[in-house]
């Protein structure tokens, strides 16, 4: 085999390895305990215990999943100024994000904005969960990613969270 062919084969193998590694970075749709009580405590905690784990969002204000790169942003949005600052980071989508969040009652609710790359998986939804002071994005049901991956997908999500379910100093899981 000529040197040129050997180098070409090595470059092709390295490219394919890089692409398959990027597609392999899927976010799990599991990972936090289930079975929480209706008041937000864990099954073993007495009634009235502050919310400590499980799903915290009451719904999605905005959600988009598309191919391409996106800035990794995680932010608690406590008012319209926070929504505007979060939205401006997403170019042409900023107006839609701001419009969807317009009717939010910030006296009772906080919004949590989250954007991330999902590898080759195109998510149709997501939920926001809490374990202690850590918030974690959980993928909704989605199809198995294809074996080939030419461009990773990303999600931008804005969740509505009742203020009493949000930790005082939230941390964000990777």
Closest by Cα among 144, 141, 137 to 161: 137
The pTM of the whole model exceeds 0.95: no
Reduced 3-state DSSP string for 63-124? EEEEECCCCCEEEEECCHHHHHHHHHHHHHHHHHHHHHHCCCCCCCEEEEEEEEEEECCCCC
Tokens, residue 156: 């931008």
Whether the Cβ atoms of residue 119 and residue 70 lie closer than 8 Å to each other: no
Tokens, residue 46: 């007495």
Per-residue pLDDT of the chain (174 residues; tens, 9 = 90+): 565 554 444 444 444 444 444 444 433 333 333 333 344 443 434 444 455 679 999 999 999 999 877 789 999 999 999 999 999 999 999 999 999 999 999 999 999 999 998 888 889 999 999 999 999 999 888 878 778 888 888 999 999 999 999 999 999 997
Sign of the Cα pseudo-torsion (73, 76, 82, 83, in order): positive
């Amino acid at each position: 085999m000529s040197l040129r062919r050997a180098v070409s084969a090595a470059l092709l193998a390295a490219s394919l390895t890089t692409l398959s590694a990027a597609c392999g970075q899927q976010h799990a749709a599991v990972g936090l305990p289930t079975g929480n009580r209706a008041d937000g405590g864990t099954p073993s905690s007495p009634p009235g215990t502050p919310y400590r784990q499980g799903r915290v969002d009451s719904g999605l204000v905005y959600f988009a999943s598309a191919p391409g790169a996106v800035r990794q942003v995680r932010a608690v949005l406590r008012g319209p100024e926070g929504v505007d600052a979060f939205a401006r980071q997403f170019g042409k989508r900023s107006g839609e994000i701001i419009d969807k969040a317009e009717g939010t009652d910030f006296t009772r609710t906080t919004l949590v904005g989250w954007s991330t790359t999902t590898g080759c998986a195109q998510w149709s939804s997501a939920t926001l969960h809490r374990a202690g002071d850590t918030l974690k994005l959980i993928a909704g049901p989605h199809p198995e990613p294809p074996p080939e991956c030419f461009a990773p997908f990303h999600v931008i999500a804005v969740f509505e969270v009742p203020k009493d379910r949000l930790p005082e100093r939230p941390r964000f899981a990777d």
